[in-house]
Structure 1
Amino acid sequence: MHIGREFHKTVRFGGGLVIMFQTLFNFAGMEQFGACLKDPELLAHARRSRSVLIQFFASALDPAVSEPLHAEICRSFPGAIVTGITTSGEIYEGQFVFHRTVVVFSFFETSELHLLSEPCRKGEEAEVGRRLGLAIAERVGSSSVKGLLLYATSQRMDGAELLGGMRGSLGSVPVFGAGAASYDNNGASWVMAGGKTYWDGAAVVAFSGDELEIKVRDYMGWEPLSRKMTVTEIGDPKWIKTLDGVPAAEVYEKYLGIRNDENFFQHMLEFPLILQRGDKLVARVPVSRGENDSLHVAADVRVGEQVRLGYGTPHHIMIAPEDIRNDLGGFEPQGIMLFSCYCRQVYLQEAVNLETKAFQQFAPAAGMYTYGEFYGQGEEVQMHNASLVAVAMREGRQTESSAALPESSDRPTGTKQMEMTSRLAKFVGVVVGELEQANREMQQLMQTDRLTGLHNRGKMEDLLSGAMQRAESGEEAFALILLDLDRFKDINDTHGHLSGDAVLRRTAQLLQGHAGGTVAAGRWGGEEFLILIRAADAQQAGRLAEQIRAELEQTDFQEAGTVTASFGVTASAAGEPVRQLFKRVDDALYAAKRGGRNRVVVAE
């Protein structure tokens, strides 16, 4: 490594047969970059490389120099792909640096790289993503792409919509990258690509090649602590208006005492909202407080999603990811890129390097602190917050010795205060989990008929209310089956109430066998049972009722012998009040009784 007073340069090869070559520069100012264009070692690597990728990470990239800088680079490195992105902190040799320009040269001997970029303003994300995806598929072929590096101005656009537009054309290609951020220029951020500057736009580098291998890992380290809250109203996908019907920002004031002052943003960074997307927990970091106590978050949320307040645990952020670092080390990378959320930098403060510096022992590791991280593949690709995404690349095969890595003596341990914070967070998380479990059990008791185990009348009324709302909005119709056990009083009088209870329980078991999915069954009262069937008409419900009637008649109730029931069936009608619906199904049930019992009457 050459170390000068004003800039550093790092050169490192990966293990095994080296084909890819990566080197890092760390400048105090861009005027020093000219020396790179004359570096004989870099020029020699360029001559024997099929593709060259040059990336700039800095908060103060000058848009005015983008075009002449690109032209100057291409004179020394013809055909080089040049990208740049503004940052909220640079990562050099796996460590945080500030007010520096980090430049990464990556030389690929056999791989082919393609750069595509487009302007993209708010509202255009899905269409721009679709065009980028199609262009990649047409130029490279989606089956040949090993990975996509994506940079975008995510502060001023919906990154999730951009990814959604790309997804349809790219199958299971892994996507990784970052949203532009900045601590300079009054927070203004942008992306540079091929000599162009995009204040609102996206740039994609597509990697392909038979010898190229890419491994991507991510981790968060924030854990959910509070009870679950439902997103009940949003503005656009990045504005949460209410949680459980309450203004969203009030949640932070109620539980954490975070008030609407000049430190609101800094305090909230430590406590993102955590939600489940597929099989992953993802974070949504609030970045500002809006009108009527709404919250502006860094990435998309959806109405109906359940979120919880999260808390960063230093143990998970710094220590638990050691297996991820070792996994990438065992991969024998020849270059590593790191994309870490700005909130991790704010949270870890002076300990920020403890989670990233170990990557440098495997390969030259550089990157940035972001405004959102892109990661995933197929249907799981999405925009993240509060995460670190590590990307390892290699050309050529691993050596046989790569299976076992020596145990690192540089294991991050954190401070005593961090250890105490982790234990406190663990305690709070366990307590919240126990309370939630107790609440679930209480809710189950409150909604369950104690004798039969079916839904009780209160729960069935709740389900019926929801079904009525969907029917009134035209979303879906539903049907009801009301059944009453025939001559149940005679069973109690002849065999006793214990025998009658056994009949009710056995009937409930039979009904439970048909419940699930769109069918809900409950005890309506005494010997009456109600079945609600979503997205069904009267004829469909009638066939189910007849099936249940026949099964009931053929069941051996032991002491009580044969037991039958009478059934009334009907379906909802548009604009019909619930009272009228129930009168119709009740009349159908009594028509079955009057008709001789043990029969089904369908009221159209």
Structure 2
Amino acid sequence: MLRQCINNRRKGYRTSRTGIEVKPVVSKTIVLKTLEHLNDSVNSNEITSLTKKASSVLIQLYIPETNPEWAMAIESILREQFPEAVIVGGSSMGGIAHGEIDVDAAVVAITFFDQTQVKGLIVDGAEATPADLGNTLQATINKTCQDVAGVMLLATTSNMDVAEFLTGFSNSPNTYPVFGGGTGDVTSIDEPLVFLDNQCLTSGVVAVVFMGTQIRIEAHTYLGWQALSKEMVVTEKDGLWVKKIDDKPAFEVYQHYLGIENDENFFFNAIEFPFLIKRNGIEYAKSPSEVNAENAIKFFADIKEGEAFRIGYGNPRVMIEQARAIQNRIDNFNPESIFLFSCVCRRFLLHDDINLETKPFEKIAPTFGFYTFGEIYGCADSVHILNSTMVAISMKEGLKSRERIIRDVETSLLDKPDPLANKHSRSISRLVNFIQAVTEELEETNEEARRLAERDYLTQAYNRVKVNEFMENEMKRSHRYGRKFSILILDMDLFKKVNDVHGHNVGDAVLSQLVRIIDREIRDSDILSRWGGEEFLVVMPETVINGAIVMAERIRKAVEQADFPQVFNQTCSLGVTTFRLGEHIEETIDRADRALYEAKRKGRNCVVAS
């Protein structure tokens, strides 16, 4: 199930002792044109010298197509020069070399460590469930690796449930960073490639474990996507497939709002428009990968039934601003090498302006990576598969802070005064801002319309339509889970006299004050509504009859003790009951009404339960 390769070279390795200088991490990036070019590059005097001095060597190889034979031909040349290196990689939607995209050539990134050890592990996606594979990989790391400083994962996200894999993997009490991305290319989305040394898989996960007391790794991520649509809810799903949204076929969302067709180009047309979901206050993007004949949509990452989302789109200005913030933090860290894992939809969105986001990283340290189908980010105890994000990893060796280098970092091209420069990015940013502003205005209007439709105009308590809807939902919960709920009906005593003596304006003021009094006494989970005239109904979830009587008595006393302007003292009568399984909600209301009538008959200003 699990195979491994560890770099055991000790030549040049020095144990960490006070006063021993730790040499910096050195990274070299090769944009591969031909195999002959690669052979000449890796046999240079500089590379040979670095290899002899290194304690370990990590080579990352990202190729622009799913071609195992080509990958292994490159690996063979690398293996001859670096017999003990860990060589990992996969297919990609474009490599990142020197901070810039390259979509046609393979990118080879060689990292030489002075004291850090690296270990490669590979798991076959066909040999067990994803969760079991993740659990096995984590167990192997815990058992065989010491002083783990971080783990890089490369996964075939399009044909295995990587979210489930990461659930199994996240069973460690450790908090070292875990990062990486999903592999794949344009022509073979469903047949991605990952490899470790001479082993290639079209379904599986490769891990690189960084070990040592001297290595320091920082992981950062940012999104840059903004919500465009109204809020919608996932109402039915099956694994990675979302079947229904707001109880309608899921694909209708993309067809209705974006005019995207259910055809072979769905992935390329829809990937720039992920679902934006908030979990624990953090916003995540979930990108679609395909649509089936039943109009269900498959996603690269997990989406939960019942989750609310909005369709999102990237704002280039926000992306660049967030990139700058991360670059400043990384610059302060003063790294020696930077790995980038950037979602392919960022490339689709920015087109020729894509380097605006990645090029400034190269000003800080040698920067390389690839465009992914999903990004992996988190700590060993909690790792997630993300979409549409950038994950930036900075690393260095040595615990002592070195003098920070003063760098000449270019101002973003978006800030340059040329009005024709980066017109694509500028136009998108302004269009996104416009759509967002219009959406917010519409939502404010819709929210006000909903509020007016649900509320009594005079008292601002809920109206009968809203409270009936609430009671129906409580009745369903009661039937399904056996949960109790109670209601009370309140009527102001002798209220006709208030209107006759003081006028309807004073009567209206009394009712409005009454609502404020009741609001102070009931719980946040309770619902207050104006039932009609001077009658009000309160629904109390998770409440049995004794609790309902206590609540009613509290309201009665509060009303009795209140000072109503012009009227001074006022009292109320209340009828209380609890919903009984098997009855209709109208029966419950009738029973509360009869209890209220009994309270009136007893002399008013009292509570009667039925």
Please indicate the TM-score interval, normalised by the length of the shorter structure: 0.7 to 0.9
Which one-letter code corresponds to 1:536 in the other structure? T
Tell me the residue number matched to 2:114. 109
1:318 shift after superposition: 4.2
2:121 is aligned with 1:119: no
2:206 is aligned with 1:203: yes
- Cα distance in 1, alignment partners of residues 243 and 135 from structure 2: 29
2:429 is aligned with 1:429: no
2:553 is aligned with 1:546: yes
5 Å-filtered alignment, 1:46-445, equals 46=51, 48-60=53-65, 63=68, 80-121=85-126, 124-140=129-145, 145-170=148-173, 172-183=175-186, 188-193=191-196, 195-236=198-239, 238-318=240-320, 321-377=323-379, 381-396=383-398, 397-401=400-404, 405-409=407-411, 411-412=413-414, 414-445=421-452
1:384 shift after superposition: 1.9
Which one-letter code corresponds to 1:221 in the other structure? G
The verdict on how the C-alpha distance between 1:196 and 1:401 changes in structure 2, with shifts beyond 3 A counting, is: closer
Which one-letter code corresponds to 2:410 in the other structure? S
5 Å-filtered alignment, 1:446-525, equals 446-474=453-481, 476-515=483-522, 517-525=524-532
1:154 shift after superposition: 0.9
The verdict on how the C-alpha distance between 1:109 and 1:533 changes in structure 2, with shifts beyond 3 A counting, is: farther
Tell me the residue number matched to 1:5. none
Length-normalised TM-score, structure 2: 0.85
Tell me the residue number matched to 1:8. none
Q: Aligned with 2:481: secondary structure?
A: coil
1:134 shift after superposition: 4.2
The verdict on how the C-alpha distance between 1:446 and 1:380 changes in structure 2, with shifts beyond 3 A counting, is: farther
- Cα distance in 2, alignment partners of residues 577 and 343 from structure 1: 52
- Cα distance in 2, alignment partners of residues 194 and 547 from structure 1: 74
- Cα distance in 2, alignment partners of residues 169 and 501 from structure 1: 63
CA contact (8 A) 1:147 1:207 kept: yes
- Quick one: which of 22, 27, 48 aligns to 2:27? 22
- Cα distance in 1, alignment partners of residues 134 and 598 from structure 2: 61
| 1:144-199 superposed Cα distances (whole Å, 9 cap, x missing partner) | 65433222111112222222333342464433210121245675213223654333
Bigger shift: residues 38-47 or 282-291 = 38-47
Which one-letter code corresponds to 1:93 in the other structure? H
Which one-letter code corresponds to 1:551 in the other structure? A
1:367 shift after superposition: 0.9
The verdict on how the C-alpha distance between 1:475 and 1:181 changes in structure 2, with shifts beyond 3 A counting, is: farther
Q: Aligned with 1:339: secondary structure?
A: strand
Bigger shift: residues 344-353 or 38-47 = 38-47
The verdict on how the C-alpha distance between 1:421 and 1:410 changes in structure 2, with shifts beyond 3 A counting, is: closer
- Cα distance in 2, alignment partners of residues 318 and 553 from structure 1: 62
CA contact (8 A) 1:478 1:533 kept: yes
- Cα distance in 2, alignment partners of residues 194 and 602 from structure 1: 77
| 1:68-96 superposed Cα distances (whole Å, 9 cap, x missing partner) | 99899778657643322221211111122
Where does the alignment leave 5 or more consecutive residues of structure 1 unmatched? 1-15
2:588 is aligned with 1:581: yes
| 1:443-496 superposed Cα distances (whole Å, 9 cap, x missing partner) | 112212222222222221221222222222227432222222233333333444
The verdict on how the C-alpha distance between 1:358 and 1:289 changes in structure 2, with shifts beyond 3 A counting, is: same
- Cα distance in 1, alignment partners of residues 346 and 60 from structure 2: 23
Q: Aligned with 2:566: secondary structure?
A: helix
| 1:217-247 superposed Cα distances (whole Å, 9 cap, x missing partner) | 22333322222222222232x3222322332
| 1:336-374 superposed Cα distances (whole Å, 9 cap, x missing partner) | 111111222223333332321222122111111111111
The verdict on how the C-alpha distance between 1:443 and 1:410 changes in structure 2, with shifts beyond 3 A counting, is: closer
| 1:286-339 superposed Cα distances (whole Å, 9 cap, x missing partner) | 222212322222222222222223233333344653332233233211111111
Q: Aligned with 2:229: secondary structure?
A: coil
CA contact (8 A) 1:29 1:101 kept: no
1:521 shift after superposition: 1.9
What is the RMSD of the two structures over their aligned residues, measured on CA atoms?
A: 3.3
Q: Aligned with 2:260: secondary structure?
A: coil
- Cα distance in 1, alignment partners of residues 134 and 205 from structure 2: 9
2:536 is aligned with 1:529: yes
Bigger shift: residues 426-435 or 56-65 = 56-65
> Percent of pairs identical after alignment?
34
Tell me the residue number matched to 1:11. none
- Cα distance in 1, alignment partners of residues 82 and 559 from structure 2: 82
CA contact (8 A) 1:319 1:412 kept: no
Which one-letter code corresponds to 1:459 in the other structure? K
The verdict on how the C-alpha distance between 1:523 and 1:58 changes in structure 2, with shifts beyond 3 A counting, is: same
Which one-letter code corresponds to 2:132 in the other structure? E
Which one-letter code corresponds to 2:297 in the other structure? L
2:563 is aligned with 1:556: yes
CA contact (8 A) 1:455 1:522 kept: yes
CA contact (8 A) 2:29 2:110 kept: yes
Which one-letter code corresponds to 2:324 in the other structure? E
- Cα distance in 2, alignment partners of residues 430 and 362 from structure 1: 36
- Cα distance in 1, alignment partners of residues 577 and 209 from structure 2: 58
The verdict on how the C-alpha distance between 1:464 and 1:135 changes in structure 2, with shifts beyond 3 A counting, is: farther
1:591 shift after superposition: 3.2
Bigger shift: residues 450-459 or 58-67 = 58-67
Q: Aligned with 2:600: secondary structure?
A: helix
CA contact (8 A) 2:222 2:322 kept: no
Tell me the residue number matched to 2:17. none
1:211 shift after superposition: 3.1
The verdict on how the C-alpha distance between 1:528 and 1:174 changes in structure 2, with shifts beyond 3 A counting, is: farther
| 1:87-129 superposed Cα distances (whole Å, 9 cap, x missing partner) | 1211111122234332222233333444444333599233333
Length-normalised TM-score, structure 1: 0.86
- Cα distance in 2, alignment partners of residues 409 and 17 from structure 1: 33
How many residue pairs get aligned? The number is 584
